[in-house]
Structure 1
């Protein structure tokens, strides 16, 4: 590059010609193949090439040029025009395409806040339920490890290659015992259960736990307009079971269909609201939450179950992402760190129970947090099908905060998508800085974190895993650490964009408004989602729904139900552990009895413990 070329004042036409020459000389494009309107990725410019090219352009123009520019301006023509306009990558500008909210994308009045009244999850690291999840996050847990020895051998024997498996990433975040299922509890025959995708089984179990967390007896939902919205993307089990015609039977169709993942829940509980499986890849479960909130706001649903599920039953998808260079060779999601080298796949399931806030307050539900707004959009024709679009990310953020009627600078924390890729994280950070960082004091930056640093990328369940983390953090007033954050990603202007990553567990900042957080999810096909949540309002009266007012000493009866004496005994043991040393140690017996009587499922067998206090009980444990 000549000294003259490094001087300021390079025109758009000169930039266009320089870029064409660079692609021919450095990337190896033929002159007749360089299409100025084609995405740079289609012309062979990968992430590493983009970093080199950004340095060359910085020298040419005499000012910093970020590699993020190539995703904001994905073709030669628009890149030349954008750079010639004097755009400064460190100033977090507002892309023209995001300057206005798309028509119909937001209500702008924050109407009908949605209450979160129940949480359930099954996640790697032996995480079962929100309390275990919070303990895991608070302790800085990491569930990523090597692929279990017993996970993929059958797939290799039946349809794969041992040699290919040996060169596939060995890292992941896996659940234990995904083959186990209590078919009898859910009224499923053994033959049908064997053909059911484990994602259907897992979702049923976590949904049951979510209803218990909310204190809602399942039978009370029969024939109600309860909607089910579930994110799911892979149907590997259907392929495995159906790969040999001799193994196909009458249950194989419903057992392997993605649509049935949501429908199975509606069928089991006899629900009459909408029931749909949502597939937008990595944003699926967050889009499901968005759709559930819309359904509640419109009155289509009176209660909504929303969430996502993801299992890795074969190595094919991991192998594909390996070939694309997306998998982390170091086996970690280094979100927003200079060590970012790709992501690690994970599996799990999460479900949240949603209700209009006014209805939840009327019914005396425990409100854990409030969804104030949300938005969904698409990248359109970006720099490649799987490449993010910075302008679209800015647009979805603006639409979500318009829908929530909350100034973006009043949000304290964002649970990011944060996959831990060297350029994906800077693109997300830049959009957050543009919308939520603008106008903040330097001493009061927007706080960022990503649960992928703990669990890996749960794909269709990633959004709900981040959503539940954010709800727990908002509720408890503390933000867990973003694991492994040591050296900031050099392609993110943290100070200029008013951003800071949570490197250590941190108390929620004191603000003159309720605690507020955003949750982001981006699908690899370009579907973006963002949800805005807020601290739950203080209830007018801290009383249990329908709770008895009389607190005088009396004999209290704890009734435990089940479908068999063995189930009654197992549930009784779980309850005893919870009473003795768990979260129930300080809960009055009368409140526990009330919850068991009015908010637990009923079965044909039951056991009764009669007691005046925790130390003494009368004749007890009669199983009928």
Structure 2
């Protein structure tokens, strides 16, 4: 082969490789443009007091006619404006429609909106905010967790007349409907308000799908809203005789006599199907394809165009990669007009009605017969209805359809009107439906929906978790919190329903945490029902904690000294919590080099715990391990502080001492105490201020005629200052016991501490040299977490935590109360006592109260409550004070899964500018004739 031949072959090979690369890239791009879009969640407000997709489904399934009288609270001159004679300017001959009678109500608090701003805000924006919030919660997403995310907002709207004639700043206007949602939730994806008249919301869905497929956003909120601030639209269509006299849409009926206006709001949460699967989000249905086109130059700008509708349907089918026979039903535009309905029916007959088997006709209906023509919210209403119908396996009937329209040749194709409810046909393929919406301006939209793919339904639950779990609730106000508890109580009452762990996980991962908080901790449904009932009525209960938090505080881990022990302490947690088990094992390994006993064994051995050289190392291990549990639940200390021997655990948790060095300090020091100091002294707690105790010891507290208390300064000294009114003294055993007798005689609730040595007294000087020798090998290091010393009264350079420091830690008074006061002064507002029983929390709380600041103080375990139940209650107590808890970690080993729960309990009040304002002419908006 010549050189030229080899070059030619090489070039051909490169060309073939490049062609293959381009083929793969094109296939990938083509697939992306056609990737199904998952409908992850839905929310809505529609006539008939509908506030959820489930309620909307119940309305259509029951065949409810939701048309009602004009609202009487919007300042409309209903009596003066009504005239039964059509065609009169400024009058309306219908006085019924599909209204949101609570359309003026709103709860601004969750959105951080003031009442004044809410009053001037377009009620359509208020509804969009509520529906956006709810649709995210229904997807299991905390609405405020998307701040900064590229989530898009696509809303359809066509009325902007609420605040005309009033001062308006940024609270009204079309662009602000979508922009307001993005701003409030902090969303940074595309944000667009679409006005294509009655096809607006379906156009919004189409554009959202395109943006998702182009990866312009990861999630998309898509829907529409209509609230009529004035009756102007009724006046215009009455003048043009396009309004149904009874306000009802008689879709495809021979009795059709005009449209009937309605109001509503609907919102979908959309996500690429592949992303929804990867993220574990629910998939209610998928959007297989969609198309948008224009009537172009037809018989009139607002007149429907049949050929354009046919082209639209074929484009949508092509986009979905389907044939007409693959679609089972269509939710029609179906406004009930004598012009629009026959044109739409003929287009459906010419597309979906052709080439179908006779036993599988296209089934046709319209939700407008139930709720009226909700205009910019109409298309999304049809989507919600059809998704629910797919999931229920039933197609509901269309109301007011006594006889099919005689203006349509129904024999031209296989299309059947839904005059009665029917089971969704069994066709051998996934259920599919089309949804149409046509705007009076000529913009037409058709969307093709498909049943959730196999495997998208939730898996059957596994074995139910039998341990304690929290149900964490919150509200922007105390009333909202109680209402939230009542809503959840109504859902879970009874024996059926999701497992407690499933509910708990769903609450902590899919709800925003507001200021007013509560948690119910339990194991079985009855415990939760009782707790929710108490919470809903404001009644205290043992396993319910409540609180109010503003911002996440900086947290201090507080490590107490000896005195928190009890027989069996933490043994339940040792059996049930992996993090605690692993950390205790690490502590046991460290201790094994300096002790000859088993750590797990001594926890349940009272005789062993009576020995100082056992109880102090055991408490050290429990405290270090409890700190690991708190940190595994997302609670990270911003500082540590220790009391007496608690400083050893604090230094280990801060990273200033290795576990091996910590074990050496606590084990060898306590052994020396047992060998030298045991039997020489006593300690006692006195519930009085430091100054008063000092006067007692000096003798200045005694009355002249009484020598019962006083003159102990030589034998008894201040050992610790635990709180503003909590002091510990130590010294010679006889002197301490005599002081105790005298104080009790005076009525002082002094308490002898169960130790037989006197820490923090002159007796400790006997062991100074032995401690220096035993602890010389330790190697302190810079801490990862700031260490506040109760020995030196300030931030400690932890490289100085040498043998000399640990001697002074035992000899000098514990300045705990000044340390807490200093930490409060520096802005710390969360105090977590890391112990098997709280002994410092009361003193900390007393310091908090005296400082007159908002802060939280909580323990970990309690005497005879050494298991996960108490730990969860302690986590909940911290959370009540604003401490950030990673609740998902709490549920990590429970096998819990996400379930549907009630959405936020909005506390609505009426916000409405009462005067009838705005005289906008819908004709100028292309609404002269109903399509």
TM-score interval for Structure 1 and Structure 2 normalised by the shorter chain: 0.7 to 0.9
- Alignment partner, residue 97 of structure 1: none
321-330 or 194-203: bigger deviation: 321-330
Distance 2:518 2:386 in 1: 38
Q: How does 1:145-160 map to 2 (within 5 A)?
A: 145-153=68-76
Distance 2:360 2:457 in 1: 34
Q: How does 1:326-475 map to 2 (within 5 A)?
A: 326-475=242-391
- Alignment partner, residue 296 of structure 1: 212
Q: How does 1:559-578 map to 2 (within 5 A)?
A: 559-578=472-491
- Alignment partner, residue 543 of structure 2: 620
Give, in angstroms, the shift of residue 496 of structure 1: 2.5
- Alignment partner, residue 430 of structure 2: 514
- Alignment partner, residue 609 of structure 1: 520
Q: Which of 44, 48, 59 is equivalent to 1:125?
A: 48
Distance 1:492 1:262 in 2: 40
Quick check: 2:474–2:514 contact (8 Å CA) kept in 1? Answer: yes
- Alignment partner, residue 207 of structure 1: 132
- Alignment partner, residue 554 of structure 1: 467
Instruction: Report the secondary structure of 1:519's partner residue.
Output: strand
Distance 1:338 1:552 in 2: 59
Instruction: Report the secondary structure of 2:204's partner residue.
Output: helix
- Alignment partner, residue 170 of structure 2: 254
Distance 1:439 1:433 in 2: 10
Gap change, CA 1:194 and 1:155, over 3 Å in 2: farther
Instruction: Report the secondary structure of 2:289's partner residue.
Output: strand
Computing the radius of gyration from Cα coordinates, the structure with the larger value is 2
Cα RMSD of the aligned pairs, angstroms, is: 2.2
Give, in angstroms, the shift of residue 218 of structure 1: 1.2
Distance 2:148 2:31 in 1: 33
Does 2:412 correspond to 1:496? yes
Distance 2:247 2:163 in 1: 29
Give, in angstroms, the shift of residue 255 of structure 1: 2.0
Instruction: Report the secondary structure of 2:377's partner residue.
Output: helix
Distance 2:30 2:345 in 1: 26
Instruction: Report the secondary structure of 1:433's partner residue.
Output: helix
Q: Which of 506, 511, 527 is equivalent to 1:600?
A: 511
- Alignment partner, residue 4 of structure 1: none
- Alignment partner, residue 182 of structure 1: 107
Give, in angstroms, the shift of residue 464 of structure 1: 0.5
5+ residue gaps in structure 2?
Answer: 1-28, 532-541, 548-931
- Alignment partner, residue 31 of structure 1: none
Distance 1:109 1:188 in 2: 39
- Alignment partner, residue 39 of structure 2: 116
Gap change, CA 1:182 and 1:155, over 3 Å in 2: farther
Gap change, CA 1:326 and 1:152, over 3 Å in 2: farther
Distance 2:250 2:457 in 1: 44
Give, in angstroms, the shift of residue 435 of structure 1: 1.2
Q: Which of 587, 591, 605 is equivalent to 2:502?
A: 591
Quick check: 2:247–2:261 contact (8 Å CA) kept in 1? Answer: no
Instruction: Report the secondary structure of 2:198's partner residue.
Output: helix
Q: How does 1:159-178 map to 2 (within 5 A)?
A: 167-178=92-103
Give a deviation string over 1:186-209, Cα, whole Å, max 9, x none: 101222212111111111011111
Query: So what's the TM-score if we normalise by structure 1?
Result: 0.77
Give, in angstroms, the shift of residue 595 of structure 1: 0.2
Quick check: 2:261–2:373 contact (8 Å CA) kept in 1? Answer: yes
Give a deviation string over 1:493-548, Cα, whole Å, max 9, x none: 2232111011111110001110000000000110000000100012278359xx9x
Give, in angstroms, the shift of residue 485 of structure 1: 1.4
Quick check: 1:394–1:435 contact (8 Å CA) kept in 2? Answer: yes
Quick check: 1:607–1:621 contact (8 Å CA) kept in 2? Answer: yes
Quick check: 1:110–1:404 contact (8 Å CA) kept in 2? Answer: no
Instruction: Report the secondary structure of 1:281's partner residue.
Output: coil
Distance 1:199 1:322 in 2: 24
Give, in angstroms, the shift of residue 589 of structure 1: 1.2
Does 2:52 correspond to 1:136? no
- Alignment partner, residue 196 of structure 1: 121
Quick check: 1:337–1:420 contact (8 Å CA) kept in 2? Answer: yes
Gap change, CA 1:423 and 1:164, over 3 Å in 2: closer
Distance 1:167 1:512 in 2: 50
Give, in angstroms, the shift of residue 177 of structure 1: 2.1
Give, in angstroms, the shift of residue 258 of structure 1: 0.9
Query: So what's the TM-score if we normalise by structure 2?
Result: 0.52
Instruction: Report the secondary structure of 2:545's partner residue.
Output: coil
Instruction: Report the secondary structure of 2:449's partner residue.
Output: strand
Give, in angstroms, the shift of residue 156 of structure 1: 9.8
Instruction: Report the secondary structure of 1:430's partner residue.
Output: helix
Distance 1:541 1:288 in 2: 27
Distance 1:447 1:469 in 2: 14
603-612 or 333-342: bigger deviation: 603-612
Gap change, CA 1:107 and 1:559, over 3 Å in 2: same
Distance 1:498 1:313 in 2: 42
- Alignment partner, residue 238 of structure 1: 163
5+ residue gaps in structure 1?
Answer: 1-105
Give, in angstroms, the shift of residue 253 of structure 1: 3.1
Distance 1:272 1:129 in 2: 27
Gap change, CA 1:612 and 1:281, over 3 Å in 2: same
